[in-house]
Amino acid sequence: MTREHGHKLTKLFVEKAQSGTIAGDERPELAGALLRVEEKKVHGIVAPNLDRLARELLVQEAALAQCWSTAAVRS
């Protein structure tokens, strides 16, 4: 998916045995990925669909807002 669109995968963040319904601030891998975006170490986050990023809409929106604030999301 990333190569097809000209992107390079730099790090894979995987929550080990975590439910997708856990709040974003309780998910260290999601927090780490968002921190890399905030620090401009990466240009964005790749997820096959939004429910893989987070199950709860509020958590999805917060993550996307953080990425958009650093211009890391393209529509």
Q: What is the pLDDT along the chain (75 residues), one digit of tens a residue?
A: 677 878 888 888 888 765 555 665 678 888 999 999 999 898 888 888 888 888 888 888 988 898 888 865 555
Residue 53 lies in a domain: yes
Residue 58 lies in a domain: yes
In sign, the C-alpha dihedral spanning 38, 6, 46, 75 is positive
Phi/psi region, residue 61 (left: phi>0; alpha: psi -120 to 50; beta: rest), is alpha
Residue 41 lies in a domain: yes
| pLDDT computed for residue 9 by the predictor | 85
- How many folded domains does the chain comprise? 1
Beta-strand runs (E) in 1-75: none
The tokens for 43 are 């240009």
9: which residues sit within 8 A by CB, 6+ positions away? 2, 46
Q: Which domain holds residue 60?
A: 3-69
